[in-house]
Amino acid sequence: MRQVVQSGTPYEMGLQHGAAFADIIPVAVKRFALDRGWNTAHGRRVLRQVERNLDRVFPESLEELHAIADAANVNFDDLFAYNACQEIGRSRQECTNVALADTPQGTIHFKSNDVDADMKQFHVLQETHPDRGLAFIGVNYAGTTWLNAGVNEAGLTYGGSSIPNNDSDWDGIPSNTLLRYLLQYADSVDAVADLVARTPIMNHGLNLMFTDPSGAAIVVERSPTRTAVRRMDSHTIWNTNHFLTDDMQAVLKNDGGAAAQNSRDRFTVLERLTAAQPHSLEQLMGIARTHTEPADICRHDELAHSIMGYIMIAQERKLLVSAGYPCENEFEAFTFSKAPAAAAS
């Protein structure tokens, strides 16, 4: 799996990232922005609003993106449209998260990445040491300031699942950029729940799962206008692609179609798979690789492909990655290659 270690100011990190993936970033820009015809009156209007919002909330993201565009020799607006693709248009709502408590490694966290089969080529391992905030290691889409899944130097883990919501907030930032922001600036599940609630997002709803070295695990149900928190109260917690709390039902768009049914079927499967105790890392890997009825966790179906799988171990600040379908690939372990500044000081 391709990797980069980036450090320094936002612009310095963007130059390092853009240079490392200069060959694949233009391909991603074409796939997520140019091929989707973003450059319309509506697309330009949304893009300028997203730019204003990021400049207010997370300006270092814009600095980094300008540097990525410079290093990869791509047009900034095209790159930015790629980063804001879920705000200019809408993407499918997929992915699964599970946390198991009381394993020999403490609470451990699995996330699948269920997307189109061709998207695997854009996934890269990124170790980030910013000049502000916490260092983190995770998997990202080349050419973005997003985060797919990861763990920071405090041991906070993140993994998410998309939601078909029906609300929006024009003052918000892209949901995918929020995910990077959270690991950079929060150090526990309580701190991150507060940060999620007070950071505006524009369009794309999420179930956000977090764990930390204390053993705690939460799911933050987040739409542009509402937030609710579910806490692990026994030995496990999981989420798919629908909200569970009463407060969030008004903004859940459930069309009764195949994706909505698949989300509920996976949720039912996870109730069965997580029941066995004692919990273990091997059990979580088995969940990641499950093919069963009424729905697979490792998906190769007409709706989505589990082209990446991640297991985060908070206590060890470790990320395990299956680069490809978990049922066909081993999980490779990654930790920080250089000591975070906070740990070294």
Q: Are residues 84 and 105 in the same domain?
A: no
- Which amino acid is present at 36? R
Q: Strand, helix or coil at 113?
A: strand
pLDDT tens-digit readout, 299-313: 999 899 999 999 999
Compute CA distances 101 → 30, 121, 236, 333, whole Å.
Answer: 42, 33, 6, 20
| Residues 119, 172 within the same domain | yes
List the beta bridge partners of residue 150. 138, 158
Assign residue 121 the CATH number of its domain.
3.60.60.10
Residue 340's pLDDT band, with cuts at 50, 70 and 90, is: confident
Calculate what percentage of the chain has a pLDDT beyond 70. 99
Using alpha carbons, select from 217, 226, 95, 107 the residue that is nearest to residue 161. 95
Q: Which pair of structure tokens corresponds to residue 308?
A: 């990446």
**Residues 123, 101: Cα–Cα separation, whole Å:** 28
Chain-centre distance for alpha carbon 200 = 17
Q: Are residues 254 and 297 in the same domain?
A: yes
Last residue of a domain, one of 71, 88, 105: 88
**How many C-beta atoms lie closer than 10 Å to residue 142's C-beta?**
24
How many residues does the structure list for the chain?
A: 345
The verdict on 203 and 267 lying in the same domain is yes
Same domain, yes or no, for 265 and 153? yes
Looking at the structure of the chain, the number of domains it has is: 2
Looking at the fold, whether 189 and 338 belong to one and the same domain comes out as: yes
pLDDT digits (tens, 9 = 90+) for 229-245: 999 989 999 999 999 99
Write the CA distances from 270 to 71, 178, 245, 278, integer angstroms. Answer: 43, 27, 18, 16
pLDDT in tens, 142-199: 999 999 999 999 999 999 999 999 999 999 999 999 999 999 999 999 999 999 999 9
Cβ–Cβ under 8 Å, residues 334 and 1: no
299-303 LR contacts (CB < 8 Å, sep 24+): 299/94, 299/112, 299/114, 300/325, 301/262, 302/258, 303/92, 303/94, 303/114, 303/258, 303/259, 303/262
The answer, as to whether pTM is greater than 0.75, is: yes
DSSP, res 172: P
Domain membership of residue 337 as a residue range: 97-344
Lookup: tokens for 107:
């609470």
Whether pLDDT at 345 is above 50: no
DSSP state of 256: -
Question: Is the CB of residue 120 less than 8 Å from the CB of residue 307?
Answer: yes
Instruction: Say yes or no: 83 and 101 in one domain.
Output: no
CA 151 to chain centre: 11
Q: How far apart are CA 191 and CA 194, in angstroms?
A: 5
pLDDT more than 90, % of the chain = 94
Let me know whether 16 and 137 are in one domain.
no
- Whether residue 25 is found in the same domain as residue 161: no
Regarding whether 218 and 163 lie in a shared domain, the answer is yes
- The phi, psi pair for 140, rounded to 5°, reads -135, 165
pLDDT, averaged across the chain: 96
Pair 174, 314 in one domain = yes
Do 219 and 286 lie in one domain? The reply is yes
- Where does a domain end: 34, 54, 88? 88
Look at residues 24, 56, 88 and tell me which one is the last residue of a structural domain: 88
The sign of the torsion formed by the CA atoms of 31, 32, 36, 40 equals negative
Half-sphere exposure of 219 (CA within 13 A, CB side): 29
What does the pLDDT read at residue 37?
94
Q: What is the CATH number of the domain that holds 48?
A: 1.10.10
